[in-house]
Amino acid sequence: MTKPGGYTVSVRAPVSNPQGADVLCSRFASGGGRKGAAGINLLPSSELTAFIEAFRAAYAP
């Protein structure tokens, strides 16, 4: 979801590996959550590329 200045992000870890969502989201200032489901309240637009790269590193096959 787009917010002024950034995005709201929700992350759900895959069923086959339901962990790591908390670690991924906690790397960003307003992020946190549980191992299988986490989020970022406001991901600044300037950090979108960094988030995508971190997401791919965490969950790429």
DSSP string across the chain: -EETTEEEEEEE--TTS---HHHHHHTSTTEEE-SSEEEEEEEEGGGHHHHHHHHHHHH--
pLDDT, position 39:
98
pTM of the predicted model over 0.85: yes
| Count of domains forming the chain | 1
Domain that holds residue 41: 2-59
Q: Which residue has the tokens 């995508």?
A: 52
The pLDDT score that the predictor gives to residue 60 is 87
Read off the pLDDT of residues 2-58 as tens digits, 9 standing for 90 and up.
778 899 999 999 998 899 999 999 999 999 999 999 999 999 999 999 999 999 999
